[in-house]
Amino acid sequence: MLDQTLKKLSLTVAFLPLILSQPALAHVIWFDYNDGNYEVLFGHPEEEAEEPLIPSNFREATAYDLSKGIVPSNTSVEGGNFFVVPEREVAALTATYDNGFWIEYPDGSYENLSPEEAQAINYENVTNYLKSTKALYSWSDEVATPFGLPLEIMPLENPFAVGVGDSLSIQVLYQGNAIADPTVEYLGQELAVDANGIASVLIGEGGLQVIEASYDDPTANNPGISYATTLTAQTITAQSTSVPEPSFLLAFGVIGATTLALKRNRS
């Protein structure tokens, strides 16, 4: 595992000039459950393109049971992978991630700035990109209510009862309120959204995939604030809370400075 981590690190360093010229504007975070582990992924789910999370940018994760009570949990890093580890069975998870400050130049290129660098130029043409996600594993009246994310995708019906060929209705909330103009994407395609922030997601043969939404705070200026959020719903027949062994490698110091390899420039 160490050899694989060092190989990834070497590739990241090799592409440093490219990294510094491209922002992670279209990136999102989402949960993926696998073999008893709840992993937080970062990148482009529609492309199956994942990139390392920067641990210092991770803000918080919360686990919930069916009554929406909080389940104690921890975070763990193993070989560059980021996990949330609940102490018992969960019905839902949420997480938030701050992707930092990015300046847009007149030629349309972007550069990542430190908080101090952004403040030094009074945040002119700078935007703070904030990511969140919600993962559902069971359904109840309590789970069907908002979890308080700044930008949140609400399923308007039980997502576990929607089959292939059916459509799932979802609504996007900003600060708990319906908005008319969020951007909603599914499998890389932008969906039509009505005046109440409601969209319809057609379920294909692969089942329900990651739903994405984004919205720029219309009142924020210098810096601007751009939100991106996701929703997943995954049935788990036998949940496990096996704990991956943490390995906070020294390589993370370099990864934290260089893991902004990005796929495209869009907000």
Q: Output the tens digit of pLDDT for each of the chain's 267 residues.
A: 434 444 333 433 333 333 333 444 579 999 999 888 999 999 999 887 788 888 889 999 999 999 999 999 999 988 778 999 999 999 999 999 999 999 999 999 999 999 999 999 999 999 999 999 999 999 999 999 999 999 999 999 999 999 999 999 999 999 999 999 999 999 999 999 999 999 999 999 989 999 999 999 999 999 999 999 999 999 876 444 333 443 333 333 333 333 333 333 334
Q: Which two tokens stand for residue 133?
A: 């996600």
Q: Please calculate the CA angle 48-54-58 and round it to the nearest 5 degrees.
A: 100
Distances (CA, A) of 66 to 137, 143, 208: 9, 7, 21
For 259, other C-beta atoms within 10 Å of its C-beta total 20
Cα gap 136→171, rounded to integer Å: 15
Report the chain's mean pLDDT, rounded to a whole number: 82
Domains in the chain: boundaries? 2-148+217-258
CA distance 113 to 194: 36
What pLDDT sits at residue 125?
A: 95
Which contiguous run of DSSP H or E holds residue 252?
helix 252-258
Distance CA 54, CA 221 (A): 26
The whole-model pTM stands at 0.80
CA-to-CA distance for 169 and 8, rounded, in angstroms? Answer: 39
CA dist list (Å): 152 to 31, 48, 79: 15, 22, 30
- Which 3 state secondary structure label does DSSP give 138? coil
- 126 contacts 222 by C-beta, under 8 angstroms: yes
State the pLDDT at residue 237: 61
